[in-house]
């Protein structure tokens, strides 16, 4: 029994048609060709002649052109034969195939970049392609002929500055595409350094810092007094320290390279370690009456008594 099948492989603006007939009449005359009468969206498109005449098996191939990207089409295929030269007739028990196919979108490519100190990192995506390459300031630093549709890589530049990272790709449909990103590579630095008292009345403080590149080692001092230090994993760090009550200005120093200690940055942060007096009595004079009170605490300031309902900084100490 004869078997007839048609498959369509779409591109962006074209589609390849493959047809196969197996098990046909092997005595079909050797000077006559079979053909596929192909309809696209209900309209006649073309006759696709068999690659060779006669016999019981035939193969058909053609390319549909003039299609629109990202568009779905229907097709209908009828197997025909030459009843006599110059005349095509559908097979007696019509062998047909029908279905739909969707063309590909316009080929696209995109590259995104980042950096860590002098190392540039990139990620890219692209439509089906035959080869691609990545360049930095016009010099190719990575390439492939593997048809991959995504990839990543890195490259270390010799100095700080602004670089153009470009991506070029050759698509399977014969066209090409490109994309680029300009990136400025700056010396590593500390983005932020924060210190805060964990709880009023406590000598424990919490510190955290954020960097614009991976760090290696940090230290915290108050003036020349050592507070803490440690190694860094990644581009941030945090921890707890013990400080006496009062105001403190801490100095954070970060070294970014284990091989070049000169690559470093320093920043300061101030923290007020406040002592809690919420349960203490205050000796006050209010409206001419002197008394110990815990309900209406006043303090004498600039010649007048002020209700102490906010934090008061006195003798290098915060009190409330």
pLDDT in the model for residue 92: 77
User: Which domains does the chain possess?
Assistant: 3-102 (2.60.40.10), 109-185 (2.60.40.10), 190-274 (2.60.40.10), 282-319 (no CATH)
CA torsion sign for 95, 99, 105, 107 is: negative
Q: In the structure encoding, which two tokens stand for residue 33, read together?
A: 């060709």
pLDDT tens per residue, range 162-201:
999 999 999 887 888 999 999 999 899 999 999 999 998 8
Mean pLDDT within 9-22: 91
260-308 tens-digit pLDDT: 899 999 999 999 999 865 444 444 444 554 444 444 455 555 555 555 5
The yes-or-no verdict on residue 24 having pLDDT over 50 is: yes
Q: What local confidence, expressed as pLDDT, does residue 218 receive?
A: 98
Say what the pLDDT of residue 298 is. Answer: 54
pLDDT at 301: 56
Provide mean pLDDT across the span 23-46.
87
Answer for the pair 42, 77: CB distance below 8 angstroms, yes or no: no
User: What whole-number distance in Å separates Cα of residue 266 and Cα of residue 286?
Assistant: 49
Give CA angle at 6 (4, 10), nearest 5°. 175
pLDDT of residue 52: 87
Each residue's pLDDT tens digit, 70-101: 899 999 999 998 877 667 888 877 899 999 99
Question: Which of 69, 70, 47, 41 is CA-nearest to residue 60?
Answer: 47
Q: Which residue has the higher pLDDT, 297 or 216?
A: 216
Quote the pLDDT of residue 210. Answer: 97
Distance CA 277, CA 284 (A): 15
The arithmetic mean of pLDDT across residues 40-62, rounded, is 91
Query: Which one is predicted more confidently, 84 or 20?
Result: 20
Q: What residue has token string 């490109």?
A: 178
DSSP character string of 64-127: E-SPPTT-EEEEEEEEEEEEETTEEEE-SS--EEEEEEEPPPPP-EEEEEEEETTEEEEEEEES
How much is the pLDDT for 30? Answer: 73
Give me the pLDDT at residue 320, please: 46
pLDDT value of residue 283: 46
Q: Mean pLDDT over all residues of the chain?
A: 86
């Amino acid at each position: 029994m004869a078997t007839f099948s048609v498959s369509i492989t779409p591109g962006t603006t074209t589609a390849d048609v493959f047809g196969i007939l197996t098990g046909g009449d092997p005595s079909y005359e050797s000077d006559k060709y079979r053909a596929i009468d192909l309809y696209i969206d209900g309209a006649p498109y073309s006759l696709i002649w068999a690659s060779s005449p006669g016999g019981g098996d035939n193969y058909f191939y053609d390319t549909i052109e003039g299609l629109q990207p990202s568009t779905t089409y229907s097709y209908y295929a009828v197997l025909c034969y030459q009843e006599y030269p110059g005349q095509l007739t559908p097979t007696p028990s019509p062998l047909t195939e029908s279905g739909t196919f969707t063309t590909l979108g316009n080929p696209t490519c995109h590259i995104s970049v980042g950096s860590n100190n002098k190392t540039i990192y990139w990620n890219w995506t692209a439509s089906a392609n035959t080869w691609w390459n990545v360049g930095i300031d016009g010099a190719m630093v990575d390439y492939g002929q593997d048809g991959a549709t995504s990839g990543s890589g890195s490259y270390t530049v010799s100095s700080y500055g602004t670089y153009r990272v470009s991506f070029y790709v050759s698509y399977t449909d014969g066209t090409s595409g490109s994309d680029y990103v300009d990136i400025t590579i700056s010396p590593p630095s500390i983005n932020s350094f924060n210190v805060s008292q964990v709880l009023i009345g406590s000598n424990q403080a919490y510190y955290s810092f954020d960097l614009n590149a991976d760090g290696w080692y940090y230290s915290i001092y108050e003036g020349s007094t050592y507070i803490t230090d440690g190694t860094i994993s990644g581009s941030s760090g945090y921890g707890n320290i013990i400080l006496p009550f009062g105001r403190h200005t801490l100095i954070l120093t970060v070294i970014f390279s284990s091989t070049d200690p000169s690559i470093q940055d320093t920043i300061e942060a101030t923290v007020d370690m406040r002592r809690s007096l919420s349960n203490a009595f205050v000796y006050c004079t209010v409206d001419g009456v002197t008394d110990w009170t815990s309900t209406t605490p006043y303090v004498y300031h600039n010649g007048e008594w002020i209700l102490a309902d906010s934090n008061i900084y006195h003798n290098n100490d915060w009190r409330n």
